Structure 1
Amino acid sequence: MTDAPDLAAALIAENFSRDGGGVLHVGGLPLTDLAEEFGTPLFVYDAEVMRRTYRALRAALAGFAEIDYSVKANPNPAVIRVFHEEGAGAEIASGAEFAAALEAGVPPEKILFAGPGKGAADLDRVVAGGIGEIHLENREEILRVAAAAERHGVTVRVALRINPGAAAQGGAMRMGGKPSPFGFDEEEMEAAIDAVEAQGPLRLIGLHLFAGTQGLKAETLLGQWAYGLGLAARIAGRTGRPLETIDLGGGLGIPYFSGDAALDLATLRAGMPDLIATLRADPSLAGARVVLEPGRYLAGPAGLYVARVLAVKESRGSRFVITDGGMHHHLAASGNLGQIVKRDFPLAAVTETGGERAATAVVGPLCTPLDMLARAAPLPPLAEGDLVAVLQSGAYGLTASPTGFLSHPMPAELLVDGGAATVIRPSE
């Protein structure tokens, strides 16, 4: 399905639809109507696609792990709420994300705080708010969290984030097995445990492992999770207490290119018995809550970024479509957000005319050659006023982009649910 030559068409068939006139619909609503009513550029998210994705993953992990939504992928409270109502907790990386999760209805005890640079103000905010766990990533942070706990007269539940050895690497961006600002190196894990144990206001209850991101191979993920259980057993052995939480990270990927195959949930499901057996065989792990914290995987497929064509031009044999959307709203689609996903994202005409397709560069309105949503998207003929949609845009879109660059207005964000569209962030 998602390894078809035209990935955009496959994703539309999987998650959305077209009517008899070739108009792309989200949740039963024509994108042309939404663009007319709410303006462009525009982010549109389908709540039912989010639910379906969450439920399929939960079924694949049944008996082994629960799911916390990684808020960084899309921190809009309306999006967080969709996953919370399905049973997910939340993983946050700032005090503002803590506030967004609370606004979405997530109880503080179901929120965990990760990230390599937690400041004193954010720590005060989450400790005072009764956060469930804080994941420690360096020695200074141990002392900072302990100080916050003392100021508020509480004991804070903490976990150690471990930067694993090379055996646990994998995914499009390796986050283990090499020098890293994230977490304690596996080689110093025992010393880090002792440092936490020396702080009276802290209670070490778990492990956080995040070995890589944008992983599309189920076998790699299963190997990383098995490795994580081994690290968890070592932590429990050092503290002499059973672990309460084993956070095996996120890293589940989604297809962005025609050669990408979607993550095989059936293979994940087939690997669960061995992981469950490992847990049950070790009394120090058997009672732990195992959690995964995907973000991109849950929210990405549900979103589209819609832009209107301003001009079409030929330049020395190349066709350019200039739109009112660009990297200032969707940096990832431009290929300028790290090295995880480069361009081109799957991109489609909102109204499919059936005309002959040609490789088309889709660019934005900014005064930089970096403002390019696609280098060579296979698109039918387009004209001023037509619409294009960037798929896989529910994660790392608006809030992961340089929205202040050139001072263009912010786009609206819509959530489509039950046949109705709700503005969840107004345009400027």
Structure 2
Amino acid sequence: MNKPVHALQTLFPVKDGCLQVGGIALSRLAQRVGRTPFFAYDRALLSARVAHLRAALPPELRLHYSIKANPMPALVQHMARLVDGLDVASAGELKCALDTGITAHDISFAGPGKTDAELSQALAAGVLIHLESASEMERLDRLAMAMGIAPQVVLRVNPDFELKSSGMKMAGGAKPFGIDAELVPALLQRMAALSMDFHGLQIFCGSQNLKAQAIVEAQSNTFRLAIELAEYAPRPLRLLNIGGGLGIPYFPGEVALDLSSISDNLRQWMPKVGAALPGVQVALESGRYLVGEAGIYVAKVIDRKISRGEVFLVTDGGMHHHLAASGNLGQVIRKNYPVAVGNKMSGSERESATVVGPLCTPLDVLAGQIELAKADVGDLIVVFQSGAYGLTASPNDFLSHAKPVEVLV
């Protein structure tokens, strides 16, 4: 068995050769769902991951869930009971967050392209709006004046440093996200002349990082910058959102993030931040780290064929449901996610096979020449690490196949 799948058995145990999800055998779960493909998320794993992260963080640090990682309503409902806030990036995500019943003040709306309609909805709901440009601030002011509402705002800052070794760099250099740090003082002065309820700053550098030292460095730089910019604020900072950046391992050779040095650094900084910014609440937002490892994608083998000596397992799922696993969501060189035959996890004959989907494109590959249990028609292929950026990050309508089911167990 390949090492990534073997390691994941500590999350998804095996009984009688079958993967267990939420204490249910995969084959039985597939029968309950009624059809494949489907995504399954384990609520116990979600709760355990939140508890694990909270134990590592200073107790006064707020923890937010970034809904874009996985906006499944039932999952968001579950996460809302475990975290201190929800971060959204669209009107659809805003509705999902409001439906949880969480206090509007604990919802923040970010994103570089908010429409007037979205800004108006955020205003009416009373959530925190993260301003990403000078023009967005002026648009929001005009809308707020017309509605007679003082908007609650946070200024998103694009610092002059980045999160090194990050899978997705969101800051440093020219970026569509946030306001360049050198322009923030003037913007804060302009804000003082507007009827805006200023809450604080968001400084979000990047995501999917497995290098603890890089995260430590970025967080330290974030605190220094926030303290410097606070001098220009129209009122004392009440919130400092330092983003996240915590990654999870997907590929062979990657090692799970060690939180110890990150924890130590945050515990050293919190008293300093409290002294420099009295009354400020510091929030860390996370999406992938909280939900990514708690989900699997399951597809059924519908054909087994051999082409010039190579085994192909054709499934009823593919890149239209799970673009990231196909390698088409940012990978430069395609690598395999951890994959297994979920109903043949032990004691089976093994072989090298390529797992493909039903689409008419050579890009529709879930696993390329990977060692698996010998699979037959009807067996269940499992893609691990599928709790984040799965269904909603994929081209579901491509070739007009049916969308997969999502279940929380």
Interval of TM-score (by shorter of Structure 1 and Structure 2): over 0.9
Residue 37 and residue 273 in structure 1: after superposition, are their counterparts in 2 closer, same or farther (change >3 A)?
closer
Query: Residue 145 of structure 1 corresponds to which residue in structure 2?
Result: 140
Residue 268 and residue 166 in structure 1: after superposition, are their counterparts in 2 closer, same or farther (change >3 A)?
closer
Does 2:115 correspond to 1:119? yes
Query: Residue 233 of structure 1 corresponds to which residue in structure 2?
Result: 227
Q: Is the 2:227–2:273 Cα contact (8 Å) retained in structure 1?
A: no
In structure 1, give the amino acid aligned to 2:335: R
Query: Residue 259 of structure 1 corresponds to which residue in structure 2?
Result: 253
TM-score (norm 1): 0.91
Q: Is the 2:162–2:205 Cα contact (8 Å) retained in structure 1?
A: no
Deviation at 1:265, TM superposition (A): 2.0
- Number of paired residues? 407
Task: Give, in whole Å, the separation in 1 of the partners of 2:49 and 2:27.
Answer: 25
Query: Residue 385 of structure 1 corresponds to which residue in structure 2?
Result: 378
Q: Is the 1:170–1:212 Cα contact (8 Å) retained in structure 2?
A: no
Query: Residue 350 of structure 2 corresponds to which residue in structure 1?
Result: 357
Task: Give, in whole Å, the separation in 2 of the partners of 1:106 and 1:341.
Answer: 41
Residue ranges of structure 1 left out of the alignment (5+ in a row): 417-428
Range with bigger deviation, 297-306 or 272-281? 272-281
In structure 1, give the amino acid aligned to 2:96: A
In structure 1, give the amino acid aligned to 2:320: H
Percent identity at matched positions? 44
Query: Residue 388 of structure 2 corresponds to which residue in structure 1?
Result: 395
Task: Give, in whole Å, the separation in 1 of the partners of 2:333 and 2:407.
Answer: 24
In structure 1, give the amino acid aligned to 2:108: L
Q: How do residues 98-117 of structure 1 correspond to structure 2 at under 5 angstroms?
A: 98-117=94-113
Does 2:29 correspond to 1:37? no
Task: Give, in whole Å, the separation in 2 of the partners of 1:269 and 1:190.
Answer: 31
Task: Give, in whole Å, the separation in 2 of the partners of 1:235 and 1:402.
Answer: 41
Task: Give, in whole Å, the separation in 2 of the partners of 1:342 and 1:192.
Answer: 43
DSSP-derived class of the 1:286 partner = coil
Does 2:387 correspond to 1:375? no
Residue ranges of structure 2 left out of the alignment (5+ in a row): none
Deviation at 1:240, TM superposition (A): 5.6
Q: How do residues 207-286 of structure 1 correspond to structure 2 at under 5 angstroms?
A: 207-239=201-233, 241-282=235-276, 285-286=277-278
Deviations along 1:149-175, whole A, 9 cap, x unmatched? 212212112112111113654412222
Residue 64 and residue 217 in structure 1: after superposition, are their counterparts in 2 closer, same or farther (change >3 A)?
farther
In structure 2, give the amino acid aligned to 1:208: Q
TM-score (norm 2): 0.95
Deviations along 1:23-51, whole A, 9 cap, x unmatched? 00111101111112321001100001000
Query: Residue 60 of structure 1 corresponds to which residue in structure 2?
Result: 56
Question: After the TM superposition, which parts of structure 1 deviate over 6 Å for at least 4 consecutive aligned residues?
Answer: none
Task: Give, in whole Å, the separation in 2 of the partners of 1:168 and 1:301.
Answer: 22
Does 2:185 correspond to 1:197? no
In structure 2, give the amino acid aligned to 1:354: G
Residue 101 and residue 309 in structure 1: after superposition, are their counterparts in 2 closer, same or farther (change >3 A)?
same
Residue 137 and residue 319 in structure 1: after superposition, are their counterparts in 2 closer, same or farther (change >3 A)?
same
Query: Residue 304 of structure 2 corresponds to which residue in structure 1?
Result: 312
Does 2:178 correspond to 1:183? yes
Query: Residue 400 of structure 2 corresponds to which residue in structure 1?
Result: 407
DSSP-derived class of the 2:93 partner = helix
Q: CA RMSD in A?
A: 1.8
Residue 340 and residue 400 in structure 1: after superposition, are their counterparts in 2 closer, same or farther (change >3 A)?
farther
Task: Give, in whole Å, the separation in 1 of the partners of 2:10 and 2:278.
Answer: 38
Deviation at 1:249, TM superposition (A): 0.8
DSSP-derived class of the 1:258 partner = coil
Residue 203 and residue 137 in structure 1: after superposition, are their counterparts in 2 closer, same or farther (change >3 A)?
same
Residue 168 and residue 324 in structure 1: after superposition, are their counterparts in 2 closer, same or farther (change >3 A)?
closer
Task: Give, in whole Å, the separation in 2 of the partners of 1:293 and 1:157.
Answer: 19
Task: Give, in whole Å, the separation in 1 of the partners of 2:104 and 2:275.
Answer: 31
Task: Give, in whole Å, the separation in 2 of the partners of 1:135 and 1:412.
Answer: 33
Q: Is the 1:64–1:275 Cα contact (8 Å) retained in structure 2?
A: no
In structure 2, give the amino acid aligned to 1:160: L
In structure 1, give the amino acid aligned to 2:190: A
Does 2:295 correspond to 1:303? yes
Q: Is the 1:63–1:276 Cα contact (8 Å) retained in structure 2?
A: no
Q: Is the 1:332–1:342 Cα contact (8 Å) retained in structure 2?
A: no
